Amino acid sequence: MATNETQLAPYQSEYIDLALKWDILRFGGPFTLKSGRKSPYFFNAGLFNSGLKLQKMAECYANRIVASGVEFDVLFGPAYKVCRSLTQGIPLVAAIAIALAKDHGRDVNFCFNRKEAKTHGEGGNLVGAPLKGRVLVVDDVITAGTAINEAVDIINSQPEAKLEAVVIALDRQERASEESPESAIMQVEKRLGIKVYSVVTLNQIIKHMEQTRGEEARKDIESMVEYRARYGTSA
């Protein structure tokens, strides 16, 4: 789920710094989450929306994938039908495949789905490489786990495909509900029997900001620590 949190890898530090620089990681609010909670911070991965930003984001994902050691045959970037922007998954999955080839010498297949099935030509709703073998799903966040179910349904509809793991931008490390001690990510891992890897976690963001921003960001750091104490998981 997360990397070793006692020490951040260089790509994780860079990812957090860029998120702060480009106002992708925002503070203040409060920001209302899908859960109804009022959060003092918001991470909007959809704002990695220029060539340079997408390149940097993809490089960090690629580094996380390599560091995880996960073995897979195809990257899958879902275009969800639920209420979200036309997912980062489509451009991101292609950019990650490029980063893996350029920076790590790994030429991997990638695939994404259309939100609506094509009715002309070859038809169908999948674009890119065949969706078969071990599938690594690329996403930005997992909140309630509802959206990831759509990706699972698509993968399960392909007889030669098997969900291997999921990689996301941020693990907020908060309980899925007041009644549960587990996060949505923990629940997805348990229910599907897979691992969910994140580029960074909330704990890592707090740690990095404490080390690099200090008093300059004291108020924002304290608000995240308070939020974590109230809603965070025990793990």
Give the mean model confidence (pLDDT) for residues 15-28: 94
pLDDT tens digits, one per residue of 89-136: 678 899 999 999 999 999 999 999 876 555 444 546 888 899 999 999
The reply to whether 56 belongs to the active site is no
Residue 205: name the closest of 73, 67, 20 by CA.
20
98: alpha, beta or left, given left = phi > 0 and alpha = psi -120 to 50? alpha
**Helix 10-21 vs helix 51-68: angle between axes, to the nearest 10 degrees?**
150
The reply to whether 21 belongs to the active site is no
Distances (CA, A) of 120 to 32, 86, 117, 130, 206: 41, 22, 9, 18, 50
Q: Which of 34, 102, 118, 219 is catalytic?
A: 118
Q: How is residue 191 written in tokens?
A: 């229910």
pLDDT of residue 20: 96
pLDDT tens digits, one per residue of 135-162: 999 988 776 666 788 889 999 999 999 9
pLDDT at 80 over 60: no
Alpha-carbon span 51 to 53, nearest angstrom: 6
